[in-house]
A and B are shown apart, each in its own frame.
Chain A
Amino acid sequence: MMKAVKIILVALAVVFIAIQFIPSGIPENKPEDKKSIVNSNLVTGPVLEQLRKSCFDCHSNQVQLPWYSKLAPSSWLLADHINDGKSHLNFSEWNDYSNREIIGLLEEIKDEVGSGNMPLKSYLLIHRDAKLNSEEISALLTWADEATAKILK
């Protein structure tokens, strides 16, 4: 019995070590450039800070990677979240979006933040400071409305 347990543990350890050699697929961070929302005329200080704190980890090229990003299989899940998030919305490439796309994204932000779907619950389990309180949600919704109005003016 003890021998079987030992074999299983060794096998698990071997598998765990082996999967560390599989690339995680986490995209590389890039420095902020002129394409970033930071350099658009649509965002102000406090809202920008809120976006950085609550959204940038999955929706930008400046991701604050946690320690478990270096360990498979959690790194695979993280890569999946980040790649999926960035494919929907990337604040680092904001100025590459057309006005039509920006309005679409702002409406989506209102839906997702307003309904409490974003930030993801699984993300908030570890990043407690990213959680939005009701005032922060209101501020983001107001910002999205004002930014839309600015584009449509």
Chain B
Amino acid sequence: MKVSTSILILVIIIGFFFIQSSPVNQSGQKGESLYTAEVKKVIDEKCYGCHSVKGNSQDAKDALLWDSLPNLQKSRLIATLDDIIEVLKENKMPPEEVIKKYPEMKLLPMEKKTMQSWAQSRADSLLK
């Protein structure tokens, strides 16, 4: 009885750590409903490297964390979507210096359009 109780406790503890350390290394894991598959693909390939907890740039993380978006309050989410629309319109992301180093990171016109339409429609639906 004692041994089985200990094993049970051990299993619970290991399970707990497993859940805690499970890497959130793909955008949308916490917000499947916020991102469409197309948008998630663009984020994962072109944005997530900097705008996730594992990113190297603190500025990028302060500006936007894709995994946090689903948890934002309504007004903050609208403001963030507005920022995304602005940044895309002005071709500010990915930054020029990143594209110089990794030309493949540049957003294709189709990808930009996908992101813009998504941000616009999400913001519109929140404002309804």
Contacts and interface: CB of A to CB of B under 8 A. Distances in A.
B74 A104 contact: no
Interface of A is mostly: helix
Contacts of B123: 100
- Chain A, interface size category, equals 10 to 19
B54 interface: no
A104 B127 contact: no
Contacts, number: 29
B76 interface: yes
A107 B81 contact: no
A56 to B, nearest CB: 22
Contacts of B75: 103, 106-107, 148, 152
A143 B83 CA distance: 22
Contacts of A138: none
Contacts of A100: 78, 81-82, 85, 123-124, 127
A104 B81 CA distance: 9
B79 interface: yes
A107 B127 contact: no
Q: Which of A99, A100, A106 has the most B CB atoms < 10 Å from its CB?
A: A100
20 contacts: A99-B127, A100-B81, A100-B123, A100-B124, A100-B127, A101-B82, A103-B75, A103-B127, A104-B78, A104-B79, A104-B82, A104-B83, A106-B79, A107-B75, A107-B76, A107-B79, A108-B79, A148-B75, A152-B74, A152-B127
Interface of A: 99-101, 103-104, 106-108, 148, 151-152
